[in-house]
A and B are shown apart, each in its own frame.
Chain A
Amino acid sequence: MTTTALPAKLTRAAWLGIAGLALLLATPLIASLTGTPYLINLVTRFVIYGLAAVSLDLVLGYGALVSFGHAMFFGLGGYVVAISSHHATDGGSIFGWAGSQAAVVVWPLAIACCGLLGAAVGYLALRTRGVQFIMITLAFGQMVYFILVSLQVYGGDDGLMMNQRSHFPGIDFSRPITFYYVCLALLVVWTLLCVHIVNSRFGMVLQGLRQSERRAVNLGVAPMPYRLSAFVISAMGTGLAGVLWANFAGLVTPDMASWTKSGELMAIVILGGVGTLLGPIAGAAVFLGLEQALSAWTEHWMIVMGPVLVIVVLAGKNGLFGGWLGARNG
């Protein structure tokens, strides 16, 4: 062979991913064998937050765009679903539309709304770099949060109940196990899509911009289209996670879009390993698992969680799983 093939860096990550997937697939079985049905609810939360974390990692890890407002997409995705469900059941029509509970209508609508918001926010925020970018995304996130708080029709501070999960022909989302597998399937599809994007020409340029913007620009790269596209894709994935969360919890609140939620998502990504895509999924499991375990023990669970985060960050820049996953793929 004259041509040296590039090392397939994803191999070990792929095996770990498959192992993780097998574990997630087996969870309902484990839950029924051990007689712990609440386990399914816990793992559904892992999966939904994992979806949001993978999306955030796409911009944070591969574009070096530290978005401190990503919860706005989580919140918006959830609210779009909850609001259309609200109008479909008891709220009357909105702008002449009766609302809907059909997943095939409402979910894409929610994702599209998040994509549009992402495009608008990204277009403005991406004119800045570094700390300014963090501040602008934070500001937009807070704007969305306060808009949601001020929506008295939709519950304001208290949020909005969703009486029923979205309908989908042939699949009953109201069964916990079914809904869990739906979330898991979406997580798998979305993660594979992100891996594909990262390894594509587009992904190569996006990461090139992160590593040396001057070099990339002097090779003819206009940074904005690459970064903005990544931001929009990320917003849509986070929005999908919000959609799932609204369905899972049966309730949306402005807190879904608050800056603390953005911080939580960022902590999950950093905990799991920035720029690994799979790491943040595991990060979600560790973060939410710890939160669950610690909050059962004390309501001041952050007192323990904080130092854990600090230790993980100090111990290595690749998070808990970055080392195993071969760090960033470029």
Chain B
Amino acid sequence: MDKTQPVPWVPTTLLRVQGLKKHFGAVRATNGVDLDVMPGEIHALIGPNGAGKSTLIAQICGEIAPDEGRIFINEKEVTATSAFSRARLGLSRSFQITELCPEYSALENVILALVLKTGRAFQVWRNPRRDRGLIEQAEERLSRVGLLARSNIRVADLAHGEKRQLELAVAVARDPKLLLLDEPMAGMGAEESSAMTHQLLSMKGKYGILLVEHDMDAVFKLADRITVLVYGKTIFTGAPAQVREHPEVRAAYLGDEHVES
């Protein structure tokens, strides 16, 4: 942050993680994580395999309870809040391995997310598959990720890259404030990966995004800030340029090809 400029107010964070710790037996999966995501920013989380990224994500979503530390969403403490309540507070996510309803069509998956967004899902009077308004909204969402032509295909029959795109569409269908993307480029070819990068760039500014990704080209293209996680500990947070320079980060994680240039 530029110190010559006055800071009029402290912007509220969308996500704040303080001193988070979690161990499984002797394994310290999360060993002191501090992290925050600001509105509209893409904050990338990088770290070698086994650094504890997945465990951290699971704690932020509420699937695993931390041993120590606190988590805030929109400055509201959620450390002990259930996963579905966190979703209702504006947290949405994609999964490292696609989690969609495999027997539903692409359209139905988006309709499901839209129905749940309305908060009027617990009723038996209306058939969501015949709801014109819902269908049109869902189709609009699908066309944004280029899947409109595939809307009636069952998810189980979609190609891998299409599933990843659909998962993104489902995750943002709720109009979340905060988006957790757990390796959105996992298993994608170079072309698909760059399409996804463009997709994410076009979404930039609409959501606060915490991006976990191994594809360093994508990370450096997308991220406003990068946090480096090693052995369950956040060792550095800074702008992409700073991360490139940081000696400890270079030693711990980055290959030489990313350090130069």
5 contacts between A and B (CB under 8 A): A4-B152, A6-B107, A7-B152, A204-B115, A219-B112
Contact between A200 and B152, CB atoms less than 8 A apart: no
* Cα distance A322–B13 in the bound complex, in angstroms: 51
With an 8 A cutoff between CB atoms, is B121 at the interface? yes
- Kindly list chain A residues whose C-beta atoms are within 8 Å of the C-beta of B95: 214-215
Q: In chain B, what residue has the closest Cβ to A199?
A: B127
- Kindly list chain B residues whose C-beta atoms are within 8 Å of the C-beta of A3: 132, 135-136, 139
Among A199, A203, A220, A229, max chain B CB count under 10 A is at: A220
Contact between A214 and B108, CB atoms less than 8 A apart: no
Contact between A219 and B87, CB atoms less than 8 A apart: yes
Binding site for A on B (CB under 8 A): 61, 63, 82-85, 87-88, 92-93, 95, 99-105, 107-108, 111-113, 115-117, 120-130, 132, 135-136, 139, 151-152, 170, 174
Determine chain A's interface SS by DSSP, over half rule: helix
Residue from B84, B99, B136, B152 in contact with A222 in the complex, judged by beta carbons closer than 8 Å: B84
Contact between A203 and B152, CB atoms less than 8 A apart: no
Contact between A221 and B61, CB atoms less than 8 A apart: no
With an 8 A cutoff between CB atoms, is A175 at the interface? no
Q: How many A-B residue pairs lie within 8 Å, measured between CB atoms?
A: 117
Given A202-B124, A217-B83, A218-B87; 4 other pairs, CB 8 A cutoff: A201-B127, A204-B121, A205-B115, A219-B174
- Kindly list chain B residues whose C-beta atoms are within 8 Å of the C-beta of A201: 115, 120-124, 126-128
Q: In chain B, what residue has the closest Cβ to A213?
A: B99
Contact between A202 and B87, CB atoms less than 8 A apart: no
With an 8 A cutoff between CB atoms, is A150 at the interface? no
* Cα distance A205–B124 in the bound complex, in angstroms: 11
Q: In chain A, what residue has the closest Cβ to B105?
A: A6
> Considering the complex, which residues of chain A in the window 172-205 have a beta carbon less than 8 Å from any beta carbon of chain B?
196-197, 199-205
Contact between A6 and B135, CB atoms less than 8 A apart: yes
- Kindly list chain A residues whose C-beta atoms are within 8 Å of the C-beta of B139: 3-4
